[in-house]
Amino acid sequence: MQNGESYRMNTTMKKVRKAKAGALFMFAPYFAAMLFCGLIPLVVAIREVANPSWINTKGSYTTIYRILGDFRVIPALAHTAFLLAIFVPAMIIVVLSVSLLLDATPMRGNTFMRLIFLLPGIVSGGIATLIWTSLLGPNIQWNGSNIRWLIGGISFSTGIGSWIVIQYGSLRSISQEVLEAARVDGCNRLQLAVRIKLPMISRYIGYMTILLVAGAIQIYTEPTLLMSTGFTTDWSLSQVAYSYAFRTGDFAGGTALSLDMLVPNIILGIIFVWKTDFLKRGERH
């Protein structure tokens, strides 16, 4: 009897060790990518900030806040604030509205509709910029007040489709038993969406919000492509950082501004992980 129990315990331990080894094997590529593409560059960047800079000729970590005194930073911050105030909320509202409609409306063409929404995300930023500028025509007088709408519109059109598909997938993961129970309790479609579905996918909404905010803060492709047409010059914070690093050779200044852009994203990420169960095991409900 004891030999049988011992055999079962040994078998169980072997299975546990195999499971752990498999998990480590699957985690290894991600860890390597995070190490060489994230952590090591971050350490190098932090060390680079202390080197002499045009902003701080003696060199020290005070460059991190001294760089904010550049005359281009405040306008770039205003552009970022515009995107955060207008296009990020608009993206969230439209994505959730369309995703809820797709989930609540059973139809034969549902799969085809998801493909249609996904197609704009396949279009790269360069092609989208070319399409927008071609459609709007050369007769528009672009300036600081309307170019931001063009940049925001390009980002909106290229990103919204992918997020609709993602959020639709999160809605489809909700247990049908929960939805049926809510219907039995008298929930109509609106109440089902607002009181049941949205709270149950709140962690995915938070994840989307963080990535949209990070994208708005670090936006680079669209204003840089428009720069070649003369529409923009150092429009975003990322462009200012690039200008420091690769036009004036001030890597310390460019790195300092890049780290400044990283700070709000880290804060949002910490709040997201701390306040949600996105990384916890098991189902939320």
* CATH code, 191: 1.10.3720.10
Per-residue pLDDT, 284:
43
Instruction: Examine the pLDDT at 285 and tell me if it is beyond 50.
Output: no
Share of the chain above pLDDT 70, in %: 85
Residues 100, 103, 105, 107, Cα dihedral to 10°: 140
Same domain, 177 and 217: yes
Same domain, 7 and 122: no
Residue range 192-247, pLDDT digits in tens: 998 899 999 988 898 899 999 999 999 988 888 887 666 667 889 999 999 998 88
Same domain, 177 and 250: yes
User: What is the residue-averaged pLDDT of the chain?
Assistant: 83
Sign of CA dihedral 79, 84, 89, 92: positive
Q: Which two tokens stand for residue 133?
A: 């500028």
Residue-number span of the structural domain to which 147 is assigned: 66-275
Per-residue pLDDT, 197:
92
Residue range 95-150, pLDDT digits in tens: 999 889 888 877 665 667 667 776 766 766 677 777 787 777 667 777 767 888 88
Per-residue pLDDT, 94:
93
Per-residue pLDDT, 225:
81
| Total domain count, the chain | 2
Same domain, 127 and 250: yes
Share of the chain above pLDDT 90, in %: 31
Same domain, 36 and 173: no
Per-residue pLDDT, 261:
93
Whether 59 is in a domain gets the answer: no
Per-residue pLDDT, 283:
47
Over residues 81-104, the mean pLDDT reads: 92
Whether 259 is in a domain gets the answer: yes
Instruction: Examine the pLDDT at 85 and tell me if it is beyond 90.
Output: yes
Whether 54 is in a domain gets the answer: no
Same domain, 152 and 187: yes
SS (H, E, C) 74-128: HHHHHHHHHHHHHHHHHHHHHHHHHHHHHHHCCCCCHHHHHHHHHHHHHCCHHHH
